[in-house]
Structure 1
Amino acid sequence: MSIGITDEHEELAASLRKWAASLGTIEATRAAEGRVDERFDEIWSAVEEMGVAAIAVPESAGGGGGTVLDQAVALEACAYELAPGGLLAAATGAAVTGRPGRHAVQARQGGIVWDGGTSGETEPVAGIDLSARHGAATDRGEVDERLRRTAVTLAAAEASGVARWCLDTAVEYAKVREQFGRPIGSFQAIKHLCAEMLETAEAVTAAAWDAACAADAGDDEQWAFAVDVAQSVCFDGAVDVAKSCIQVLGGIGFTFEHDAHLYLRRAVSLRALVGPADDAAARLTAAAVTGVRRRVDVDLGGLDEPVRPEVRSTAERIAALPAADQRAELVETGYLMPHWPAPYGLGADAVTQVVIDQELARAGVTRPDLVIAGWAVPTILQHGTDAQRDRFVRPSLLGELTWCQLFSEPGSGSDLASLRTKAVRTEGGWLLSGQKVWSSVAERADWAICLARTDPDAPQHKGITYFLVDMRSDGIDVRPLREITGEALFNEVFLDEVFVPDECVVAEPGDGWRLARTTLANERVAMASARLGKSVERAVELAVAGLGPVENVRVGHAVALATVCGLLGVRTTLRAIGGHGPGAESSVAKLLGVRSRQSASALVVELQGDAVAAVGEIERAVDGLAADVWEMLNTRCLSIAGGTTQILRNVAGERILGLPR
């Protein structure tokens, strides 16, 4: 996905990308090869005539009257086609001065002047980015903070455009380049490399988008925070994606004739111009220890006005009830799971869901987590019988029924379709026999959703049926599995001819695989929390107590990644509000979220030095180092549970990027 989420921004980006491709910047860059060439003047005249650099300048001053976000969308699209490097400096200067024209922009103290040519600078020359001309600054005074933030904000947009081109180029090549008789994109190593490029590109885009949004919002503290997130993420990210593009291209990518190196050069130049990511990370830590977090307010464009008064009134009424009575009222009003169909939810659209989230949070009402019921009940709602809905849905919402999941088996983890638990027809139902594993809360669950093979002769995905199993049935043996934390959170479950009546089959025999995908894919529109996640917040807490400069930088990078994970969720929500299905953000969010939680929990332990070697019993620890060690060990499961990271990257490569199997 590009920076622009709305239809208008997508149209703007498409139009400008087509225009930028017609400029011939790459051809002029190759022809000049470091020399000042008159064709660059011709290109720049076209840029000025189009007014691209003045989109954020008021109309009264001769500009486009747009927002910083509009300008960022335009710069990303132009960078995708490697429009001349001077465009960034001109756009930055125009946004700061409020007037169009070519501006020299000093990137940082003692640094470089972007596209020099004004008095006080040396003669501009070509640098590593062959499409731009820069000169060394003679004035080494402090850079105006608004100028710095604007420069980083718009440079981040260019970094997103560079990353997008590199990702698209690598993926298209991987689809058609053959080795050993197959497209190289079908090889897992290439597929994973492209999926990792997608993760990084989405992070870059989200951070660039947010910096531009924050610039328009007018809150200097929030803009500063968003800019530091962008500086921490976008420029190293764009360089990494450009390097990976060349890696996927192989030898052809290393040639001067291929355009890939021009994009790598632009990415490296952008990174040099804005300054070190570590500086921004240190500032993020300093802000975080004072309580600053990124708060993204979703602009509903007035669509919330018809529903907000009633939602606010209902939320306040629920909040006024005793805590023990609030859950029942959440169920009664449909506010517990508003996206579910009536009478169990509201069948709420995306806007109403966001408003309910906002107003419940404002009123201080916390909705209980349905855990596995949140997966099981949507399947029953969509595919079950009326009798099944009457029997299971409302009691599950009220917390009267606890569910577990009997999907995974010792030999069928990510490869769920290869499961071997069998169900044999008997009078009035089925007899289930087999072994399931990694089932949380099975030791206290009332019911389970269970997949079993009812037709051993059918293809793997065809002969599976979806059962609802009473966990108190004869023949069920639940045995705890002790994990690396020392505790037993999971279980293995043995089924020995467990009887399941026909009324507990969901849909028809053989429909199990289709229904399982409903269970695993169920999502709702939700607002992201301003909190950074348990371990990142703990790292900030340690920074408050006092860390060294190197450690503070590491904490800042953790803050940046956690913030980006939240931004991906916000962008998914905004797309839903705009009537679009989930984009790449929703899939990438899990991959980046796992990385964030695992790396942050490991960082927290590392920050406490050699004390970890003598930490005491961690199983029942509730705070301190012992609890931190427990969290670090426990998060190891995140890259395994619910599909391993490697499988998810295969899925992202095939379903999002279109790489061959």
Structure 2
Amino acid sequence: MSIGITDEHVELAASLRRWAASLGGIEAARLAESDGEETFDETWKAVGEMGVATIGLPESAGGGGGSPLDVAVALEACARELVPGPLLSNAVTAALLGRDERCALALDPDLRVVLDLPGATHVLLPDADDAWWVVPASALSATTSPGLDLTRRFSSATVDLADATRAEGATGDLVRRALTTYAAAEASGVARWCLATAVEHAKVREQFGKPIGAFQAVKHLCVEMLEAAEAVTAAAWDVAAVAFGPDDDQWAFAADVARVTAFDGAVEIAKSCIQVLGGIGFTYEHDAHLYLRRALALRALVGDADQAAVALTARAVSGTRRQVEVDLEGRDDAVRPQVRATVATIAAAADTRRALVETGYLTPHWPAPAGLAADAVTQVVIDEELARAGITRPDIVIAGWALPTILEHGTDAQRERFVTPSLLGDLVWCQLFSEPGSGSDLASLRTRATKVDGGWRLDGQKVWTSVADRADWAICLARTDPETQHTKPHQGIGYFLVDMRNSDGIEVRPLREITGEALFNEVFLDDVFVPDDCLVAGPTDGWRLARTTLANERVAMATSRLDKSTERAVALAADGGLPVTQQVAVGRSVALSTVCALLGVRTVLRSLGGQGPGAESSVAKLLGVRNRQDGSELVVRLLGERVLTAVDDDEVAAATWEMLNTRCLSIAGGTTQIMRNVAGERILGLPRG
């Protein structure tokens, strides 16, 4: 995946990557290692001929009339191939000055660091009063030498401002924000190259008779790179999407999220790439260190992430949240009037839940009779109109897993019996999947289903079953063919609907969790009769049914609110008195929570474009778990000594419960480690262990 989501951006990125790879930029950077005055003129000539440098300028200024997002897509593609020269500085100065010229960039009045001065005709620089000037490059006396990033040149200089021209409208904040916007795109390109290089190496490099990508440690390292890369890309995409727009606060917020996320992320990914490559990655001959150098230089150029985190905390305290608006490009015109009218009817109904169910608006992505089989655009419009009317859908919990299977694979009688009552909340469901010896590995389950006259007899033990003590019905996996236990463990499993209230032989024992509550339960099945009409599909279809997802997937826009614990941390910061280190922690929590929401938005945009789900949806689950766990732990840390003594403090009790309860998130529904195995194999294509 890359910054671009639309077909046009995907094609632009692919075309530019092919072109950039033909330039031989890395070889040019290596050859110029010892030449401090290298200007990369040949590369820059090719960049100019391709129109990359002017893609964001208006056509009246000789540019391509592109948006900042177009520029970001181009910069990411060029950075992925490590195109050397002054492309970044030129993109920033062109956006600020509105003209095409080879313009170097300085960020401080002392000119300790001037980016891309060799070969420049002009320089954009500040004075001590934060006034910004454009001066001829000849007005600078400079010293240039190869630095950390061999693909760029950094100089220190003095200047004579006699021939300076005022850069109207430029401020230090604006310049740094523009630099962050386009540097984040380069960071995404670096991250993408490093991830792809590490994964390809892990697929072919063999140790102990198998590819190293088959080893869980390497696989998890690659998936952690994927998680970081998706976060970097999402932050880079978002800040470019809102850059130079009408809402300055939104751009500032997005820029701080990018500063917190993109540059540390790119550095860590580059380091992990070298780790996966092993000894070859540590050699000078391999290109990996050049990407690490670029990532480190970008981070140093943009500035300290901790400062951005403090600024982000202040913005969040003031009430700013990232509010991403999706442009439906008129595709909603045909459906919005009817949706708005239906929502008005729902809002006026005496029973809102029943009205949601009867209109199909509770689960519009499901087929009838539960939903509308709504396409992505209609789903987004329904969400927007429900939010506008202040209507919140009730959570159907385990029914959200049971009903799709019944809808897709059940009989008409099963659909009529279970779907509507469950949506109305009249039936509560639990899930009897996990067993003491079968957690994520459901193929090893031992609960038996023996065929008898008129149905089946179930015997076994289930565990970690939420709300089993008050559930009306359960979905249960049981082995119908014991002969397949060791030869074909995924076969010979049935998918049963178990009446939890009226069946003999069911014993539910509560399991007290670390919160002190007993949401989980053990369930013992002793000769429990299940009639044939409560078997879904065939007696050996259970494994396939357990993996059911409806073809029309749920599309949901993320809320502008942060995660609950992050919002609480922001509220504590608003009370004042937090030391800088804790302000940094709050800001980083705000950034992660925002990135998780952005991943959801990018998934929605792919669905609106008719594309299949990208890596964002899987990564969002992994990062979402970390977001909730880290956020809840942060709140407890911010409360300090109060957690030791305030036994009657409702705020402390709620924060402690949330922190303890979220520990289950990296275990329930498949552990984080199992999910990383799956992501490594299904998304990255790494071999099975």
Q: How does the TM-score come out when normalised to structure 2? A: 0.93
Q: Does 1:625 align with 2:626?
A: no
Residue by residue over 1:478-508, the C-alpha shift from the partner in whole angstroms, topping out at 9 and shown as x without a partner, is 1111000111111111111110000001010
Distance of aligned partners of 1:352 and 1:76 in 2 relative to their CA distance in 1, 3 Å threshold: same
Distance of aligned partners of 1:294 and 1:108 in 2 relative to their CA distance in 1, 3 Å threshold: farther
1:519 deviates by 5.8
CA contact (8 A) 1:61 1:99 kept: yes
**Which position in structure 2 is the counterpart of 1:461?**
490
CA distance in 2, matches of 1:537, 1:137: 45
Residue by residue over 1:124-145, the C-alpha shift from the partner in whole angstroms, topping out at 9 and shown as x without a partner, is 3321010101113658999532
Q: Mapping of 1:231-380 within 5 angstroms?
A: 231-322=259-350, 325-380=351-406
**Which position in structure 1 is the counterpart of 2:670?**
643
Distance of aligned partners of 1:217 and 1:512 in 2 relative to their CA distance in 1, 3 Å threshold: farther
1:612 deviates by 2.0
**Which position in structure 1 is the counterpart of 2:601?**
570
CA contact (8 A) 2:451 2:457 kept: yes
Aligned residues: 655
**Which position in structure 2 is the counterpart of 1:652?**
679
- RMSD over aligned CA atoms reads 1.7
**Which position in structure 2 is the counterpart of 1:503?**
533
1:397 deviates by 1.1
**Which position in structure 2 is the counterpart of 1:171?**
199
Q: Among residues 585, 607, 616, which one is paired with 1:585 in the alignment?
A: 616
CA distance in 1, matches of 2:610, 2:157: 48
CA distance in 2, matches of 1:208, 1:484: 39
Describe the SS at the equivalent of 2:340: helix
Describe the SS at the equivalent of 2:525: strand
Larger CA deviation: 391-400 vs 570-579: 391-400
Q: Does 1:184 align with 2:185?
A: no
Q: Among residues 115, 134, 140, which one is paired with 1:120 in the alignment?
A: 140
CA contact (8 A) 2:466 2:519 kept: yes
CA distance in 1, matches of 2:377, 2:211: 43
CA distance in 2, matches of 1:320, 1:106: 60
CA distance in 1, matches of 2:108, 2:364: 49
Q: Among residues 453, 457, 470, which one is paired with 1:427 in the alignment?
A: 453
1:107 deviates by 3.9
**Which position in structure 1 is the counterpart of 2:30?**
30
CA distance in 2, matches of 1:121, 1:575: 50
Q: For residue 629 of structure 1, what is the amino acid of its counterpart?
A: T
Distance of aligned partners of 1:108 and 1:522 in 2 relative to their CA distance in 1, 3 Å threshold: farther
**Which position in structure 2 is the counterpart of 1:50?**
50
1:123 deviates by 3.4
1:522 deviates by 8.9
CA distance in 2, matches of 1:506, 1:35: 72
Q: Mapping of 1:476-625 within 5 angstroms?
A: 476-518=506-548, 523-546=553-576, 547-616=578-647, 623-625=650-652
CA contact (8 A) 1:406 1:448 kept: yes
1:338 deviates by 0.4
**Which position in structure 2 is the counterpart of 1:387?**
413
Q: Mapping of 1:11-30 within 5 angstroms?
A: 11-30=11-30
CA distance in 1, matches of 2:172, 2:284: 38
CA distance in 2, matches of 1:99, 1:376: 59
CA contact (8 A) 1:34 1:130 kept: no
Q: For residue 113 of structure 1, what is the amino acid of its counterpart?
A: V
Describe the SS at the equivalent of 1:579: coil
Distance of aligned partners of 1:216 and 1:418 in 2 relative to their CA distance in 1, 3 Å threshold: farther
CA contact (8 A) 2:32 2:38 kept: no
1:615 deviates by 4.1
CA distance in 1, matches of 2:158, 2:567: 42
Structure 2 unpaired stretches of 5+: 119-136, 162-166
Q: For residue 76 of structure 2, what is the amino acid of its counterpart?
A: E
Distance of aligned partners of 1:55 and 1:407 in 2 relative to their CA distance in 1, 3 Å threshold: same
Residue by residue over 1:371-409, the C-alpha shift from the partner in whole angstroms, topping out at 9 and shown as x without a partner, is 000110000000111111111111111111111111111
CA contact (8 A) 2:365 2:553 kept: no
CA contact (8 A) 1:20 1:83 kept: yes
CA distance in 2, matches of 1:608, 1:308: 46
CA distance in 1, matches of 2:504, 2:584: 57
1:244 deviates by 0.1
CA distance in 2, matches of 1:301, 1:601: 38
1:218 deviates by 2.4
Structure 1 unpaired stretches of 5+: none
CA distance in 2, matches of 1:510, 1:594: 33
Q: Does 1:634 align with 2:671?
A: no
**Which position in structure 1 is the counterpart of 2:122?**
none
CA distance in 1, matches of 2:346, 2:518: 36
Q: Does 1:444 align with 2:470?
A: yes
1:121 deviates by 5.9
Q: For residue 484 of structure 1, what is the amino acid of its counterpart?
A: I
Q: Among residues 123, 144, 149, which one is paired with 1:129 in the alignment?
A: 149
Q: For residue 403 of structure 1, what is the amino acid of its counterpart?
A: W
1:104 deviates by 1.4
Q: How does the TM-score come out when normalised to structure 1? A: 0.97
Identity over the aligned pairs, expressed in percent? 71
CA distance in 2, matches of 1:231, 1:207: 9
Residue by residue over 1:507-537, the C-alpha shift from the partner in whole angstroms, topping out at 9 and shown as x without a partner, is 1011000100116999511010111111100
Larger CA deviation: 157-166 vs 605-614: 605-614
CA distance in 1, matches of 2:140, 2:24: 31
4+ runs of 1 displaced by more than 3 Å? 36-39, 107-111, 137-143, 519-523
Q: For residue 114 of structure 2, what is the amino acid of its counterpart?
A: V
1:321 deviates by 2.5
Q: For residue 458 of structure 2, what is the amino acid of its counterpart?
A: L
CA distance in 2, matches of 1:130, 1:634: 49
Larger CA deviation: 473-482 vs 309-318: 309-318
